[in-house]
Structure 1
Amino acid sequence: MKRLLCVAACVLSAAVQAQAIPVPPPVSKPDAATFNYDLRPRQIAEGTWVIEGAVADFSRANGCNIINTAFITTGAGVVVINTGPSRLYGEQQRRAIERLTREPVQRVLSLNLHPDYFFGNQAWADRPTQALPGSIAGMQAEGGAYADNLYRLCGDWMRGTESSPARESVPPQTLPLGQHRLELMRLQGHTADDLVLLDHHTGVLFVGGLVFAERVPTTPHADFERWLASLDVLEQLITSGRVKTVVPSHGPVHSGLAGVRQTRDWLRWLTVLMQTSAERGLDLGEVLRTPVPERFARWAAQPAELHRSLSQWYPRYEQRALAGPAPGR
């Protein structure tokens, strides 16, 4: 009980500290009649552009484009970060990049195994497509199921799309490219292999799915304890003075710790809810009817993402509660 009260107090403290992140008005207007994503790169730092997706859930109205992709022109070649949810997105992303730079694309990075990070890889078949080894294994194992789901959700936006996992594994390393020094780091929690990229030249930190801003986090491959530990690592990095801008894969680009704190607040609230509900003997239906705290109510993908998380993870908390404490405790 003392431990639960301590965790609840931490959750409350995080909620007090959490900051709202202004959500800019959408700049692109996807056209379902022509299947034009209307991608508009926005420069956020020297040589660094972000193509912002909708802060929303997958839908045909947004072409299932809910991810932030990016590219860095280093002077020694372009690095592309994430390739979107479909072949069409990847093709339009490539054209958008070619309109802004004549530098050749040197490599294409996917920050984790989820489909909107790599389903545009078809458009980059002539370039090295790279990810962490565990992400590639996950892409290969789950790509078919991802495709089935996205075709159902997105319809004709997915025309001609096939799962195209990254072809080359990339280890954690530091890449000197032109004036830029790109540090690739492997963290865990949102998935088993979360690639994070810090550009030491500009101070832009690409945090992938470890940070969600103004949106409920997705959790199909989550390890909550490791995720919270990774958020601690990111907080230390951001407060070190080396980071000026944080780019999550889902939600607005921002500065400071607001996105880290929002994500941590949600994960703590969610896990405490599941643990205490299981110990009280509540069934899933009862937990699904639990009111969401006001601080989360306005976030995108609410309540759908919460319901997905509870449906997947709550049975495990029930099993633990029924099994009782481990011997010796």
Structure 2
Amino acid sequence: MGACGVSEKARRGAWRLALVMWACLVAACLVAACLAWAPLARAAASDVPVPVAVAPGVYAMLGNGDAVAPANRGIVANNGFIVGTRGVTVIDTGTSYRYGRAMIEAIRKITPLPIELVIITHQAPEFVFGASAFRDRDVPILAQRRTAELIRERCAICLKNLQRTLGDDEMGGSRVTVPDRTVEDTTQIDSGGRALQLLYFGPASTPGDLAVLDTSTGVLFAGGLVSAGRIPELRNEQIPGWLAALDRVRALAPHAIVPGFGPVVKDDAALTATGDYLRQLDAAVRRAYANGTGLTDAMRTVQVPDFRSYKLYAAAQPQNVQRLYLQLEKQ
């Protein structure tokens, strides 16, 4: 009996020890998992811009203005939303379906009002692919007619490029989403109980640029027309129409401008800088062309020194030179 008692006692002790060791192991695994996931959770949350109040009811979500890369998850461009008495109007939607969903969640933290309309200012890929998240919620999507056409014609290639750059996981669910509403010219609308002017000045940075003016606050979402601290990228059109559009924007004297890239500005400094870059670039390329400089040499040597410190200068400057040079060859 004594032997049996000792044996039973030993078995119970061994069992308690095993339970303790198992509990410690589970706790250690949970701690390790939390430590492993915490940085990822913080990174995912911190990568999504927090809405910034620009004026009563007007919010901007600001990208970092860099080139699209895995490190920034493609969150480089600016977008935002306007809260009216009846609903919300979204201006541009970011690079991916994932970002579009994040926009929707950010809006829900500001207001319970429904999202009534999405406005796409132009067809650059950093601004359009989040629209699929809004389409899935049956939100109407509006753009200038040429922008809608270009999204239909060209954005499948842009989507493939983004998938290669950012990966299938980041771009999961993203698809080409063609606006179902279009405008031809400058139009005033009521959206969500807010009076908005959709301003079309003709082909500028792209054939279908819209700027969106909230008439009650004077805040202008400039889309592709204005960049702050980042080199403008020439895409489809020539410079004169872009410069004329900038002059029209200046004449409006907006209270604040949300540029396509860069910080919100409350003066015309970004307008002036965008125009100055375009003029200096145009003059420099024309000089090189008139002097007989070949395209390859022009892409390497034509510089706009005043803007060397701007984001994307090293990458965008040669591409801009190439586009202007090829336009001159066609004339």
Q: Give yes or no for TM over 0.5.
A: yes
Larger Rg: 2
Equivalent of residue 140 in structure 2, options 105, 121, 128: 128
Give the match's secondary structure for 1:175: strand
C-alpha separation in 2, matches of 1:122 and 1:263:
31
Deviations 1:150-207 (A, max 9, x none): 1122223212211112122135321245763211111231111111111111110111
Gaps of 5+ in 2: 1-38
Cα distance, 1:142–1:319 mapped onto 2, change above 3 Å: closer
Gaps of 5+ in 1: 1-28, 321-329
Equivalent of residue 274 in structure 1, options 278, 281, 285: 285
- Kindly indicate whether the alpha-carbon contact (under 8 Å) linking 1:118 and 1:165 is maintained by their aligned counterparts in 2: no
Deviations 1:203-259 (A, max 9, x none): 101111111111000111122111111111111112xxxx21011111111011111
Q: TM-score, normalised by structure 2?
A: 0.82
- Kindly indicate whether the alpha-carbon contact (under 8 Å) linking 2:100 and 2:134 is maintained by their aligned counterparts in 1: yes
What residue number does 2:4 align with? none
What residue number does 1:67 align with? 77
What is the CA-CA distance between 1:312 and the residue it aligns to? 2.8
- Kindly indicate whether the alpha-carbon contact (under 8 Å) linking 1:30 and 1:38 is maintained by their aligned counterparts in 2: no
What is the CA-CA distance between 1:114 and the residue it aligns to? 1.5
What residue number does 2:162 align with? 150
Aligned ranges 1:10-29 → 2 under 5 Å: none
Q: TM-score, normalised by structure 1?
A: 0.82
Cα distance, 1:315–1:133 mapped onto 2, change above 3 Å: closer
What residue number does 1:265 align with? 276
- Kindly indicate whether the alpha-carbon contact (under 8 Å) linking 2:198 and 2:212 is maintained by their aligned counterparts in 1: yes
1:195 aligns with 2:195: no
Cα distance, 1:209–1:282 mapped onto 2, change above 3 Å: same
What residue number does 1:208 align with? 223
What residue number does 1:229 align with? 244
Give the match's secondary structure for 2:306: helix
Paired letter, 2:222: V
Deviations 1:9-61 (A, max 9, x none): xxxxxxxxxxxxxxxxxxxx997975973231111100011000012111111
Q: Percent identity?
A: 29
C-alpha separation in 2, matches of 1:102 and 1:158:
27
What residue number does 1:297 align with? 308
Cα distance, 1:53–1:108 mapped onto 2, change above 3 Å: same
What residue number does 1:252 align with? 263
Paired letter, 2:119: L
Give the match's secondary structure for 2:130: helix
| Aligned pairs, number | 288
Cα distance, 1:144–1:260 mapped onto 2, change above 3 Å: same
What residue number does 2:173 align with? 160
Runs of 4+ that moved beyond 4 A:
29-36
- Kindly indicate whether the alpha-carbon contact (under 8 Å) linking 1:35 and 1:157 is maintained by their aligned counterparts in 2: no
C-alpha separation in 2, matches of 1:40 and 1:262:
27
Give the match's secondary structure for 2:72: coil
- Kindly indicate whether the alpha-carbon contact (under 8 Å) linking 2:282 and 2:324 is maintained by their aligned counterparts in 1: no
What residue number does 2:24 align with? none
C-alpha separation in 2, matches of 1:35 and 1:221:
35
Equivalent of residue 317 in structure 1, options 315, 325, 328: 328
Q: CA RMSD in A?
A: 2.1
